[in-house]
């Protein structure tokens, strides 16, 4: 099954048909390559099985998300096993990725033993360089102190930071702390000021990759799937030709293109969540065991600088 979705930039929000077709339930990871400022993404499953050959770019990296180590309910009683499968797939890639991005919810309950287990599994990954941002499950009870001690020593504030790799500027943001009643994800003034300052010296042709746990675009506010002050953060990135925003949190693949910005959410390595509005709540979705590991989605983003619209091709895998 292969569907092509041409995003119309003249209307806001999400086209329902395209929206549903962008879905994939559960997966293991996404491989990204950057070539000449053009970022492409591939479902790891098809890369490993040889069905897709990634373009050799200047840079390739993998995003994993929502490993929820410590979760043991019906939706997946072996989250360590499925994370291990993700790592096995990454290790089987023909070209090893330069590094991993983990977009949060490393743990389920912020317990030290859960973080220990995650670290142990990631030790088995050939790509030893891992860049983290916290999910709300990583900052329970202590406002993220333990997370900062373990994963955010070189960061600012609650754990935000940036780094450069092969000419691409990466920004890891934190939007899971100081959440306000009735609100969504939250960046806060300190972080917003830092974002503005961080990109000041960069040329407009620098490809930017922003990664954070909760989506930085409004996916579904009824379920809290968005970030209150993301518009201000993104306003500082308007002058850049290529901005890619990578998020987790919603445990399913979704994409949106808005001007120069491509938004992409990753699958979880632990359990799927329902498509917005299709269930009473965003709680873990129970699917047959063989589907949990086997159902993957592949997403190709063909992103060309200077073009006003772009084609996004999603291929949900048939079971």
Q: Which residues bind other proteins (CB under 8 A)?
A: 71, 73-75, 108-110, 136-137, 140-141, 179-184, 221-224, 280-284
| Closer by beta carbon to other proteins, 229 or else 314 | 229
Q: Shortest gap between Cβ of 173 and other proteins (angstroms)?
A: 18
Closer CB to other proteins, residue 30 or residue 139? 139
Minimum Å gap between C-beta 283 and other proteins is 6
**Distance of closest approach, residue 74 Cβ to other proteins, in angstroms:** 8
Residue 276 C-beta: closest distance to other proteins, Å: 13
Comparing CB distances to other proteins, the nearer of 164 and 190 is: 190
- 108, 142 Cβ separation under 8 angstroms: no
Q: Residue 94 or 283: which CB sits closer to other proteins?
A: 283
Q: Which is nearer to other proteins, 224 or 316 (CB)?
A: 224
């Amino acid at each position: 099954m292969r569907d092509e979705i041409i995003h119309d930039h003249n209307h806001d929000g999400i086209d329902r048909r395209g929206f549903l077709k962008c879905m994939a339930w559960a997966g293991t990871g996404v491989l990204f390559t950057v070539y000449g400022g053009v970022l492409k993404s591939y479902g790891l499953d098809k890369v490993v099985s040889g069905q897709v050959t990634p373009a050799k770019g200047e840079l390739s990296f993998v995003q994993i998300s929502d490993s929820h180590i410590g979760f043991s309910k019906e939706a997946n009683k072996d989250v360590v096993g499925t994370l291990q499968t993700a790592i096995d797939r990454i290790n089987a890639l023909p070209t090893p990725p330069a590094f991993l991005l983990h977009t949060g919810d490393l743990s389920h309950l912020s317990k030290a033993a859960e973080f220990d287990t995650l670290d142990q599994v990631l030790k088995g990954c050939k790509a030893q360089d891992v860049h983290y941002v916290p999910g709300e499950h990583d900052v329970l009870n202590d406002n993220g102190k333990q997370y900062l001690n373990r994963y955010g020593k070189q960061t600012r504030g609650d754990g935000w930071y940036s780094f450069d790799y092969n000419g691409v500027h990466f920004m890891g943001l934190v939007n899971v702390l100081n959440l306000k009643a009735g609100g969504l994800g939250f960046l806060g003034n300190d972080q917003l000021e830092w974002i503005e300052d961080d990109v000041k010296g960069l040329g407009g042709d620098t490809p930017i990759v922003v990664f954070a746990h909760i989506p930085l675009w409004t996916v579904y506010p009824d379920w809290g799937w968005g970030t209150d002050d993301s518009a201000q953060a993104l306003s500082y990135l308007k002058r850049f030709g290529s901005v890619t925003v990578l998020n987790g949190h919603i445990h399913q693949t979704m994409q949106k293109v808005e001007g120069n910005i491509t938004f992409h959410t990753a699958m979880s390595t632990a359990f799927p969540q329902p498509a917005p509005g299709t269930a009473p709540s965003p709680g873990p979705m129970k699917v047959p065991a063989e589907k949990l590991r086997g159902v993957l989605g592949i997403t190709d983003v063909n992103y060309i600088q200077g073009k006003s619209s772009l084609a996004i091709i999603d291929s949900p895998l048939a079971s």
